[in-house]
């Protein structure tokens, strides 16, 4: 049985991850941590996530960066559901110890450190650690993930966007001179648990934000190897992401080639479901799946792709568990499917 610790267990993604580890047949919770300054420090996990009130009384242990080395030395797997700044500061204390590290923040997703600084507002000063980080898009980088000591788990928007676009890009079916246009809507849990007025459920009305400047844009572009136009929206629903992607196909590409690309790349990926109609958020909420559908207009040469996933599961916690399963030689869906 693998001993697992989680830092940031009281946030939305951290609580979801705790629940997944609790039910995982090959993993068990060693300890749960929160920041030493957190209002949840020394509370019991079920006090901060009442839907899990049936769980054992697991304390939320306050943790400082200086104490992180001991944490990484005392468990097999360590998940960070923490702000980017904390993950960046703590990582030198965590790597090269017993634990395999799965970081759900964006601190080590971008290999270009100049682009990282421009989008995250601080510099990544650990270039040596960044070089060791493997991007945790489980369906596409499984072989690299399996050998990794540090996995940078993707953001929820990039997961939806790349799941929809990579089959066509890898098959050489996209017109590289035309940027894919990605419009994606996220539920309010994507903004985190911290109380902020403009992301309060009662204040949210469907709106675009981060237009032409969202920090997930370079993450999508880096792994797609193509520039995109990405526009996120915040919706007044709790959880889920719906991405609608419009992109230009190569001049001679037909519908049969597009259909073949999706079928070929995802035929052995049980958590990617190729739908017969455009997916809805309700199809995937509270599940580890990502649903994909597409429609080709051969006359104009465009394809529209729809991707739906749960931002707290496939966009965060369940994808982190997928990565951990791969690292420890387990089935990628263990603990995620009945």
List active site positions.
156
On whether the CB atoms of residues 5 and 97 are closer than 8 A, the answer is no
Q: Report CA-CA distances (Å) from 84 to 101, 110, 214.
A: 14, 12, 15
Q: For strands 181-186 and 241-248, give the pairing.
A: antiparallel
What are the backbone dihedrals phi and psi of residue 126, each rounded to the nearest 5 degrees, phi first? -115, 65
Enumerate residues 6+ apart whose C-beta is below 8 A from 122. 84, 85, 88
Structure tokens at 278: 């455009």
HSE at residue 169, side-chain half, CA atoms within 13 A, is 22
Question: Whole-angstrom Cα distance, residue 136 to residue 151?
Answer: 6
Strands of 187-262, DSSP E: 207-208, 229-234, 241-248
On whether the CB atoms of residues 90 and 65 are closer than 8 A, the answer is yes
């Amino acid at each position: 049985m693998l001993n697992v610790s989680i830092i940031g267990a009281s946030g939305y993604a951290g609580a979801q991850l705790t629940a997944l580890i609790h039910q995982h047949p090959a993993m068990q919770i060693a300890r749960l941590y929160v920041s030493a300054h957190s209002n949840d420090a020394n509370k019991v996990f079920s006090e901060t996530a009442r839907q899990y009130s049936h769980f054992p009384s697991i304390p939320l242990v306050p943790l400082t960066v200086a104490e992180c080395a001991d944490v990484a030395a005392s468990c097999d797997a360590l998940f960070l559901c923490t702000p980017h700044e904390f993950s960046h500061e703590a990582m030198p204390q965590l790597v090269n110890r017993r634990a395999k590290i799965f970081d759900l923040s964006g601190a080590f997703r971008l290999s270009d450190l100049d682009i990282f600084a421009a989008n995250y507002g601080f510099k990544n000063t650990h270039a040596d650690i960044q070089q060791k980080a493997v991007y945790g898009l489980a369906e596409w980088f499984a072989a690299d993930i399996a050998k990794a000591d540090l996995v940078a788990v993707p953001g929820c928007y990039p997961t939806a966007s790349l799941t929809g676009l990579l089959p066509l890009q890898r098959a050489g079916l996209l017109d590289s001179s035309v940027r894919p246009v990605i419009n994606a809507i996220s539920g309010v849990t994507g903004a985190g648990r911290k109380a902020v007025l403009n992301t309060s459920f009662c204040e949210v009305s469907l709106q675009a934000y981060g237009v032409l400047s969202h920090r997930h844009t370079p993450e999508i572009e880096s792994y797609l190897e193509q520039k995109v136009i990405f526009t996120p929206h915040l919706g007044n629903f709790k959880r889920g992401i719906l991405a609608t992607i419009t992109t230009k196909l190569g001049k001679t590409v037909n519908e049969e080639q597009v259909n073949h690309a999706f079928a070929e790349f995802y035929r052995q990926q049980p958590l990617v479901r190729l739908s017969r109609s455009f997916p809805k958020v309700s199809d995937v909420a509270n599940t580890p799946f990502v649903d994909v559908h597409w429609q080709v207009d051969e006359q104009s040469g465009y394809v529209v792709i729809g991707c739906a996933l749960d931002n707290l599961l496939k966009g965060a916690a369940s994808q982190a568990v997928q990565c951990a399963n791969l690292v420890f030689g387990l089935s990628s869906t263990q603990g995620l499917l009945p």
